[in-house]
C-alpha cells in the first residue's frame, strides 16, 4: 500500500478534467456512482457543489463531490452545520489497495482546513453497496438507522461523520 502522503485531494480544474474522464468503476458499481462525464457535467449545474479529484502522486485515481449543504444529498436539513458527500469512488484499476480509506482521510483533513464551520459530513449509501458501507463505517461514519427512499438507486442508508 502506498504511503498516506502520496494520496491527496484537490479541486478539479481544467487541467485535471481530461485526466478524470478516463476514470471508471466496475460494472456492478455503475448504478451507484454513474459515469464521470455525467458527474462532472452535473456539478457545473449545481451551485454550492465542488468537484474534487483524488490523486496518487500526480495520477488521478478517484473523484468525489462536496455539497455546501446536506439537503441536496439527504433531502432535508440536519441539526448541525453540515456538508454533503456524493459520487465518491476510486477508479476500478486502483480498487482493493486500501486507497479509499486513505482518500477519505485526506478528504477529512481538506474539509477541516477549507470548511472549518462544518461540524459533520452526510452521505447516502445504497443498502446493497456492502463494500462502501463497510468502508464508511471503518472511517468513522455512523449509520442513523434511517433509510432514504428517494433517488434512482433505491433505499439508501443515511450516514453521518463528525468533522473536527
Residues 71 and 132: their CA atoms lie apart, in Å, by 21
Q: Which residue has the higher pLDDT, 27 or 11?
A: 11
- Over residues 25-37, the mean pLDDT reads 81
- Over residues 136-157, the mean pLDDT reads 78
Show the domains of the chain with their CATH numbers: 4-116 (3.40.630.30)
- Confidence class of residue 2 from pLDDT cuts 50, 70 and 90? very low
- Confidence class of residue 27 from pLDDT cuts 50, 70 and 90? confident
Q: Using an 8 Å Cβ cutoff, are 87 and 63 in contact?
A: yes
- DSSP code per residue over 19-71: HHTT----GGGHHHH--HHHHHHHHHHSTTEEEEEEEETTEEEEEEEEESSTH
Average confidence score pLDDT of the chain? 88
Residues 64 and 86: their CA atoms lie apart, in Å, by 6
Give the pLDDT confidence of 55-107 residue by residue, as tens digits: 999 999 999 999 998 887 887 888 899 999 999 999 999 998 989 999 999 99
Residues 10 and 109: their CA atoms lie apart, in Å, by 12
pTM of the model: 0.89
What is the reported pLDDT for 1? 43
- Confidence class of residue 154 from pLDDT cuts 50, 70 and 90? low
Amino acid at each position: 500500500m502506498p504511503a498516506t502522503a502520496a494520496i491527496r485531494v484537490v479541486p478539479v480544474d481544467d487541467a485535471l478534467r481530461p485526466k478524470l474522464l478516463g476514470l471508471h468503476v466496475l460494472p456492478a458499481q455503475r448504478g451507484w456512482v454513474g459515469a464521470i462525464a455525467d458527474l462532472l457535467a452535473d456539478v457545473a449545474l449545481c451551485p454550492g457543489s465542488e468537484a474534487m479529484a483524488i490523486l496518487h502522486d500526480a495520477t488521478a485515481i478517484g473523484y468525489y463531490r462536496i455539497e455546501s449543504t446536506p439537503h441536496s444529498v439527504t433531502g432535508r436539513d440536519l441539526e448541525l452545520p453540515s456538508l454533503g458527500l456524493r459520487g465518491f469512488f476510486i477508479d476500478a484499476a486502483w480498487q482493493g489497495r486500501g486507497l479509499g480509506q486513505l482518500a477519505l482521510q485526506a478528504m477529512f483533513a481538506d474539509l477541516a482546513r477549507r470548511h472549518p464551520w462544518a461540524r459533520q459530513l452526510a452521505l447516502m449509501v445504497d443498502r446493497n453497496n456492502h463494500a462502501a458501507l463497510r468502508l464508511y463505517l471503518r472511517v468513522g461514519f455512523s449509520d442513523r438507522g434511517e433509510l432514504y427512499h428517494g433517488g434512482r438507486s433505491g433505499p439508501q442508508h443515511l450516514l453521518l461523520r463528525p468533522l473536527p
